[in-house]
Structure 1
Amino acid sequence: MTSTPYPPAPLQKAPLSEAQAFLAAYPDVQAIDIVLSDLHGVGRGKIIRRHELESLFTSGRGMPASLFAQDVSGHDVEDAIACMNDGGGDSRCWPVPHTLGFQTATGRGMVLLHMETPNGAPTPTDPRNAMMTQIARAKAMGLTPMGALELEFYLVDQERDAEGKPQPARAPMTGRRLSGTNCMSVDELDEMAPFFDAVYEGAAALDLPMESLISEYAEGQFELTLRYRDLARAADDIVRSKRLLRTTARRFGMEACFMSKPFAQSSGSGMHLHLSMMDESGANIFADPSENTLAPRMLTAIGGIRASMADSMLILAPVLNSWRRFAGTIYSPATNSWGSEDRNVALRIPSGAPKTRHFEHRVAGVDANPYLVAALVLGAALDGMDAGTAPGAEGVAGEADYPPMPVGWLDAIDRFEASEAMKTILGAPLHQIFAAVKRGEYNALAVEVTELEWKLYGTTL
């Protein structure tokens, strides 16, 4: 595969009417959070005052593109900054359509942003723009990508335990500290009802389509599902949902934790992406063509994803902690595999009505950037459909037909950096800067002496 770039999708700017409607609906709101998602999915931006909102929609707002050259803690990464060549000046950010809403927890508004270059082109290092480029590629093929991402997370107490370690939150209704696995416990959800009632109230105010809620496979772990819809809005939903959960949890004495593996002996948290494609008539091209037969175009999409799975792992597991999730393989697939109704494979085809057929990409952790996950999964799927790539053998045994998966974070960085497939899907600037930032994070952690090292070696060797 060559690294010929795909034409960037024009930046879609929210109309002024959205701001005017918001101001009319919420006359008492005095401030609005304006949020740009960086490489890591961390919200960077400002809180503006009410009188500034209309000018944001008509004139945009300046922010430095160097925000995309920062590590997860907000520090500039020298090698990434060197890739930018923009002199450190501001670029223009614009509101994303359909993302302006009211935050019940904070009493402020919130709107997502995306960035354009000084010459008016989409900023190539903005992850949302990379996703929109792949969506535009699909639309040029007469297809509309549809999807939803599941959101797994932990709720932890703001207070640490007696040993200074994080601990599960207390249930707001009973004051009981969450304990035990309690997978799919309805009683535990009832104990948490005051918090989740506030979350659903906040979701309604944001026009955020949150649906089912379950208690997951560990104490304090939960999962929320969101309505299936066009892929761009599905990714925006995850960004807004994370902010909603964080702001609401703080007001209940809790913190929402989106680490992939916050507790060594407990299950990890994933962000599974469900994906299908509609043609111009609105029909699902992944629908079964006949009984007990899977659609050829879905199978070639799976083939394309498998072909670049090893190269893509840095996007799906972007930080050191991400790789701890794969240490235990129960429902955390670390293999390049596919199958029907099997939660141990990377790409699962769920059961259901044939006309709603889709596949579930199960590898990404909840710490991954949803825009980058959407960009690479869609891009790899389109590659497979273009080339007619066969999916390979069903089940884990087929993994031998593909390059070996990375064995850890550094290996994933090396594989990603050398990958022409990732450079093509994400664009050369984003590919280069993401690799530089992640290598910078790796180098910073490699020289850090941990408490465990002192415990094992400090007075022993």
Structure 2
Amino acid sequence: MNDWTVNLPDPAALYLQGKRLDEVECVIADLPGIARGKAVPASKFARQKYFHLPDSIFFQTITGDWGEAADDADGGFIERDMILKPDMSTATAAPWTGDWTLQVIHDAFDRKDRPVPYAPRNVLKRVVQLYRNQGWEPVVAPEMEFFLTARNLDPAKPIEPMMGRSGRPAAARQAYSMTAVDEFGPVIDDIYDFAEAQGFEIDGITQEGGAGQLEINLRHGDPVKLADEVFYFKRLIREAALRHDCFATFMAKPIENEPGSAMHIHHSIMDMETGRNLFSGPQGGETDAFFHFIGGLQTYMPAAIAVIAPYVNSYRRYVKEHAAPINLEWGRDNRTTGIRIPLSGPESRRVENRLAGMDCNPYLGIAASLACGYLGLMEERRPSKQFKSDAYEGDADIPQVLGQALLLFDEAKALHDVLGPEFCRVYAIVKRAEYEEFLQVISPWEREHLLLNV
């Protein structure tokens, strides 16, 4: 064994026990959360302390086009190389490959060894550090919803649910059905096997309300570690699905008339000195910090929607009565509100943000949600009165389209200061370029209803 393999995380070491490591995938998440990087022979990885990728990977739209986001003061669009350094605590198996392969997440630095400000993992680290500067340790627990669908090779064709074990398409309206989960048994078995090989602890898998829609809950923990896991899980789940002739999609709204897929984020904050949950007082009651965090979400989440709902499709999820919030009301054990307080004891009191879509970059979605809560804590924001009935009966108070969300994002200077002004500048440019690309596409709906009728 090479020296660098001696201190691998336990699951990675166990995966390689008695095996010869062939390859290492050096990866980093771009703005959409796609894994970019290089695959290198294990012998080469042992000799390299870092590798290079151009900073332009953060200027690309989801279609592969470019946003004009390069900084003219720094030479403009010259595709300057970043220095990517491995975080060996993230080393994990790639168990679907044909040989013995590890994946390692890297962090991006410039030539002066400064974190690249628009690298998503660096954005989240920045926000977490702001909490720690106050003596607070943020804790999150993400929930991942996704659809298993039939293979779709024609973008003009609607997406359909996958065929289950029974030979029938996956049925909708079967939330929490064990029989429905059993329909996807072979895919779920591979998800569990891959997760175990990678050392990830799944808190549970349930059938959601959509046809072929599943939810995976992860154990609570450090925000960066959990974002790493979601980043890895997206790839893991896609690979498991492909083994069984179906697709896994994390689109916010892949199928018409079905619920969308969310990445609900549970938040709590620990006092670093005492280990106490900041949301609970000595007698177990709700603290000012608890209410200020909620107030921050209500105040700043409209501007952060552009980050947690990053595509035009994201806004199709915010539909009344379709298991997605339409406003920022908050309530205790109320799944119709955008901000929900789950049932819990004082030690595990937490705030659930139900607005983020599963299509968001996990680093950026968690960073944006934490940033809103942080501003609420620092500014001592008070929330509105608790909403005790059906929040779908209330008014919608979040952006309905990406263009509107980007306008709010542009104006949110306080949010920019937390996430990082340079990240916000680049993100807005890339997303606006993406939106303008979409506006040039004529949809089937337009051709059907406008061609001969207007």
Q: What TM-score, normalized by structure 2, do the two folds share?
A: 0.90
Q: 1:336 to 1:410 in 2, by over 3 A?
A: same
The answer to whether the aligner puts 1:102 opposite 2:85 as a matched pair is no
Q: Residue 66 of structure 1: which of 52, 56, 62 is its match? A: 56
Equivalent residue, structure 2, for 1:233: 225
SS at match of 1:115: strand
Q: For residues 187-232 of structure 1, what are the alpha-carbon distances to aligned partners after superposition, in whole Å with 9 as ceiling and x for unaligned?
A: 1212322211111111111111212000100111000001111111
* Sequence identity percentage: 28
The answer to whether the aligner puts 1:268 opposite 2:260 as a matched pair is yes
1:176 deviates by 3.0
2:168, 2:407 → 1: CA distance? 46
1:297 deviates by 1.0
SS at match of 1:92: strand
What amino acid maps onto 2:81 in structure 1?
D
Unaligned runs of 5+ in 2: none
Equivalent residue, structure 1, for 2:424: 431
Q: For residues 151-175 of structure 1, what are the alpha-carbon distances to aligned partners after superposition, in whole Å with 9 as ceiling and x for unaligned?
A: 00000111569x933211122x433
1:134 deviates by 1.3
Q: 1:49 to 1:73 in 2, by over 3 A?
A: farther
Q: 1:20 to 1:392 in 2, by over 3 A?
A: closer
Q: What TM-score, normalized by structure 1, do the two folds share?
A: 0.89
SS at match of 1:132: helix
Q: Residue 154 of structure 1: which of 134, 137, 147 is its match? A: 147
What amino acid maps onto 1:190 in structure 2?
D
Q: Residue 336 of structure 1: which of 328, 337, 341 is its match? A: 328
The answer to whether the aligner puts 1:443 opposite 2:436 as a matched pair is yes
SS at match of 1:256: strand
The answer to whether the aligner puts 1:290 opposite 2:308 as a matched pair is no
Paired residues of 2:326 and 2:396 also in contact (CA < 8 A) = no
Aligned residue runs from structure 1 range 234-383, under 5 A: 234-279=226-271, 280-290=273-283, 293-383=285-375
2:89, 2:328 → 1: CA distance? 36
What amino acid maps onto 2:148 in structure 1?
L
Paired residues of 2:330 and 2:338 also in contact (CA < 8 A) = yes
Equivalent residue, structure 1, for 2:70: 81
Q: For residues 371-421 of structure 1, what are the alpha-carbon distances to aligned partners after superposition, in whole Å with 9 as ceiling and x for unaligned?
A: 11221222222222222221222128999xx99532321111111112102
2:358, 2:442 → 1: CA distance? 27
Equivalent residue, structure 1, for 2:134: 141
Give the aligned CA root-mean-square deviation in angstroms.
Answer: 2.5
Paired residues of 1:288 and 1:357 also in contact (CA < 8 A) = no
Q: 1:423 to 1:16 in 2, by over 3 A?
A: farther
1:256, 1:322 → 2: CA distance? 17
1:371, 1:211 → 2: CA distance? 20
1:20, 1:445 → 2: CA distance? 43
2:40, 2:173 → 1: CA distance? 42
SS at match of 2:89: coil
Q: 1:38 to 1:392 in 2, by over 3 A?
A: same
1:19 deviates by 5.3
**Across the two proteins, how many residue pairs are aligned to each other?**
440
Q: 1:303 to 1:157 in 2, by over 3 A?
A: same
What amino acid maps onto 2:337 in structure 1?
V
1:318, 1:385 → 2: CA distance? 25
What amino acid maps onto 1:430 in structure 2?
F
SS at match of 1:150: strand
What amino acid maps onto 2:87 in structure 1?
V
The answer to whether the aligner puts 1:188 opposite 2:180 as a matched pair is yes
The 10-residue stretch of structure 1 (274-283 or 145-154) with the greater mean CA deviation from structure 2: 274-283
2:315, 2:383 → 1: CA distance? 25
The 10-residue stretch of structure 1 (123-132 or 405-414) with the greater mean CA deviation from structure 2: 405-414
1:130, 1:396 → 2: CA distance? 35
2:138, 2:190 → 1: CA distance? 31
Q: 1:74 to 1:170 in 2, by over 3 A?
A: same
Aligned residue runs from structure 1 range 26-37, under 5 A: 27-37=19-29
Q: Residue 409 of structure 2: which of 412, 416, 424 is its match? A: 416
1:337, 1:211 → 2: CA distance? 28
Paired residues of 1:65 and 1:89 also in contact (CA < 8 A) = yes
SS at match of 2:70: helix
Q: For residues 405-445 of structure 1, what are the alpha-carbon distances to aligned partners after superposition, in whole Å with 9 as ceiling and x for unaligned?
A: 32321111111112102211211110001100111011111
The 10-residue stretch of structure 1 (444-453 or 231-240) with the greater mean CA deviation from structure 2: 444-453
